């Protein structure tokens, strides 16, 4: 990752105070874990009805693992909410149901069936509009329906520029809108959790984690993840430079497109027709970390939704997406 520093670190490393912990985690991961647990508990202590947004992805998997730790020996005292677009990878849905059952968690699943019946789909509908209808609006409706006052999300500040300035406790006015100019300063560990009527809070316990942190933590803690994150032979088509996996029979092929078998994995898991895979030989988490250490592209590149426009993430956040 950093050749000159790596060489130096190997030469003159001496154990320092902060490595002398009893746990198996590095001091860095231990600090991130402790910080996330603190945030999770703060929400449960201060809010009437929290919920955890569970996308079943790697970040959600880490967040759920942290929640099991934070409230042990009690179970996490809130339900999980999955927004299913109807175009989710099959393996992701299977993993979701197995995890919820194995851990005995309450799982809520919401979808925009009306829009799906009206013909909204990732092939014909403009990508921004598709994700607004199938994800953002469903999320907002679900939060309103259950009257959740705080929702955990797995967002990280390193993902994208608009997120670098995101608060850990991100205030949403009624309608779930995010006003970047009306966010509260966050000092020390003293989170201002107060809400006016109609306001809700989005809370990001993994704010200070990087993609590499997430993977090394998954490895260290042996956290189960959707197998799509690991390389395997899968059927794909190449489209606009991205590898799109053919996850079910609804795939719409363009002229001249051929299905080919490739050894691929995914860095993020969105709707399958909109999620690009990468060629990879990493069949286990250790391999993913190794590839990540010399990776040359950041993870959101695989998502066609983000590439749609400059600062599209910021626009989506304003609309109420995470």
Q: Which positions from 12 through 31 interact with another protein, judged by CB under 8 A?
A: 13, 15-19, 22-24, 26-31
**203 closest CA partner among 38, 34, 57, 69:** 38
Kindly tell me the sign of the dihedral angle through the C-alpha atoms of 272, 223, 51, 184.
negative
Helix (H, G, I), strand (E, B) or coil at 233: strand
In angstroms, give the least distance from the CB of 270 to another protein: 17
Binding another protein by CB under 8 A: which of 48, 119, 124, 222?
222
Residues pairing with 80 in the sheet: 52, 107
Instruction: Give residues 93-152 in contact with another protein (rule: CB under 8 A).
Output: 98-99, 102-103
Residues in contact with another protein, total (CB under 8 A)? 98
Q: Of 237-276, which residues contact another protein (CB under 8 A)? A: none
Q: Are 308 and 316 in contact (CB under 8 A)?
A: no
- Phi and psi for 252 in degrees, rounded to 5? -105, 115
Q: Which of 110, 208, 263, 291 binds another protein (CB under 8 A)?
A: 208
Out of 86, 301, 308, 319, the only residue in the binding site for another protein (CB under 8 A) is 301
Q: How far is the CB of 24 from another protein (least distance, A)?
A: 6
- Crossing angle of helices 211-221 and 27-46, in 10° steps, is 90
State in angstroms the smallest separation of the CB of 307 from another protein.
9
Single residue of 91, 210, 238, 251 touching another protein by CB under 8 A: 210
**How much is the CA Rg of the chain, to the nearest whole Å?**
20
Cα of 90 vs its chain's centroid, Å: 18
| 123 CB neighbour count, 10 Å cutoff | 13
Looking at the Cβ atoms of 125 and 219, the one nearer to another protein is: 219
Residues 26-65 contacting another protein, CB under 8 A: 26-35, 37-38, 41-42, 44-45
Whichever of 140 and 163 has its CB closer to another protein, that residue is 163
Question: Closest Cα to residue 170, out of 5, 318, 16, 14?
Answer: 318
Instruction: Give 45 or 254: the residue with its C-beta nearer to another protein.
Output: 45
Helix/strand/coil for 288 = helix
Q: Which residue lies nearer to another protein by CB, 113 or 284?
A: 284
Q: Residue 215 CB, nearest distance to another protein (Å)?
A: 10
Pick the binder of another protein from 114, 188, 255, 258 (CB under 8 A): 188
Choose one: 239-247, 263-271, 273-281, 293-301; the region binding another protein (CB under 8 A): 293-301
Residue 170: which H helix or E strand, with range? strand 169-172
State how far Cα 287 lies from the chain centre: 20
């Amino acid at each position: 990752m950093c050749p000159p520093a790596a060489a130096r670190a190997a030469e003159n490393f001496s154990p320092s105070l902060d490595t002398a912990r009893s746990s198996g985690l590095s001091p860095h991961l231990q600090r991130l874990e402790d910080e996330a647990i603190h945030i999770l508990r703060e929400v449960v202590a201060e809010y009437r009805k929290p919920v955890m947004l569970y996308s079943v992805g790697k970040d959600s998997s880490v967040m759920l693992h942290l929640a099991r730790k934070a409230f042990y020996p009690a179970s996490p005292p809130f339900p999980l909410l999955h927004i299913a677009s109807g175009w989710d990878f099959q393996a992701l849905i299977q993993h979701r149901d197995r995890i919820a059952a194995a851990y005995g968690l309450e799982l809520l699943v919401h979808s925009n069936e009306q829009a799906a019946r009206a013909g909204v789909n990732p092939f014909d509908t403009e990508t921004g509009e598709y994700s607004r209808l199938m994800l953002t609006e469903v999320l907002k409706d679900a939060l309103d329906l259950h009257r959740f006052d705080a929702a955990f999300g797995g967002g990280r500040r390193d993902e994208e520029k608009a997120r670098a300035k995101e608060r850990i406790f991100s205030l949403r006015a009624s309608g779930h809108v995010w006003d970047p100019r009306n966010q509260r300063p966050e000092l020390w560990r003293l989170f201002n959790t107060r809400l006016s009527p109609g306001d809700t809070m989005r809370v990001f316990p993994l704010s200070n984690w990087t993609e590499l942190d997430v993977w090394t933590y998954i490895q260290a803690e042996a956290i189960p993840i959707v197998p799509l994150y690991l390389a395997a032979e899968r059927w794909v088509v190449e489209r606009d430079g991205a590898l799109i996996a053919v996850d079910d029979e609804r795939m719409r092929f363009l002229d001249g497109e051929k299905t080919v078998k490739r050894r691929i994995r995914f860095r993020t898991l969105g709707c399958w027709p909109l999620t690009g895979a990468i060629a990879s030989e990493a069949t286990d988490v250790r391999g993913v970390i190794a590839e990540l250490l010399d990776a040359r592209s950041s993870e959101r590149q695989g998502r066609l939704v983000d590439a749609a426009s400059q600062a599209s993430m910021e626009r989506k956040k304003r609309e109420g997406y995470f």
